[in-house]
Structure 1
């Protein structure tokens, strides 16, 4: 299968979709806010675009479930960051971006997944992707809930600053909005 067909298939499955593009754009804005180099912003943008790539291996019924997930279903969903890491890591030149994808669900307080990294142990770009991912998920309709307003989403980011999210990055992220 040629590369364009793979990308079309991934998009058709909703793995990248509009969410991936929005996360990527938020990552670019945040990269500029942080004064990153253009190369770093490009890497961050690509990792943001593909952050949910591993969901290609998760059962669609789980991904689209309208209600609360069971423990088993949540365990299945959590595999997506490691699967995405393996997929991207197998592509020459994408190894760094694969690592950012792997850790995008780690939490500042160490209660994230897959490795329970804490604070500065989490790569900066993974922390940025995690913020962009959470904000976009909150401000767009999901199968299990309606979108929050921009103001409500910002309040949620602030409420989780220092626990789920890097408190310094939350302030910078809000400036980009």
Structure 2
């Protein structure tokens, strides 16, 4: 009986998380299909990098919930058809912290909250919110950074049209060692440029 109650409680929490992500998808057309594409590519890359089962699971969940904090971003910013101004960009850059706080409040996500917080860090230390650099950034976040950027570049946004895959690959190559972990960027290009 106790085990059944635990399963029900876990299922309820999972439904809450799914509901939150579905609400974000309904609100933000960018998110539709985005997490599925990220999950597939992140896990493929993670397997090639030899991540442990735990790290692969972290990466799978992170790819689905990394933008959870966007729930707390006003529509006029999230759905803007124009480039964001400095003030709006400052608000948008709060979404990792908002996502972290939401995940901390949900027992089913607490273990991935730190990764949500760090998913916009950059290899060169110029990311946000903590300014971490290099291998101080969890590998799951470094993988997500490359895959997320690629997916963002190759899909339409309200404020711009998608670029070609060739252009996106070149952008990743150009930002390897600054925005992206150079080894992960190189492996990504090796794996996906030939497809």
1:146 maps onto 2:150 in alignment: no
1:132 maps to 147
Q: Residues of 2 paired with 1:37 and 1:121: CA distance?
A: 18
Q: Residues of 2 paired with 1:37 and 1:91: CA distance?
A: 24
Secondary structure of the corresponding residue to residue 27 of structure 1: helix
Q: How do 1:17-166 residues align onto structure 2 when only pairs under 5 Å count?
A: 17-166=32-181
Secondary structure of the corresponding residue to residue 33 of structure 2: helix
Q: Residues of 2 paired with 1:97 and 1:32: CA distance?
A: 19
The structural deviation recorded for 1:16 is 4.4
1:105–1:130 contact (8 Å) kept in structure 2 = yes
Q: Deviations over 1:121-146 (max 9, x none)?
A: 11111111111111100010011111
Q: Residues of 2 paired with 1:36 and 1:132: CA distance?
A: 16
Q: Residues of 2 paired with 1:117 and 1:134: CA distance?
A: 18
1:29–1:176 contact (8 Å) kept in structure 2 = no
Q: Deviations over 1:89-115 (max 9, x none)?
A: 222243332111111111111111001
Q: Residues of 1 paired with 2:154 and 2:38: CA distance?
A: 12
Q: Residues of 2 paired with 1:109 and 1:33: CA distance?
A: 24
Q: Residues of 2 paired with 1:117 and 1:8: CA distance?
A: 30
Q: How many residue pairs were aligned? A: 177
1:16–1:49 contact (8 Å) kept in structure 2 = no
* TM superposition score normalised by structure 2: 0.83
* TM superposition score normalised by structure 1: 0.91
Q: Deviations over 1:11-64 (max 9, x none)?
A: 322384211222222211111111123332122011111111100110112112
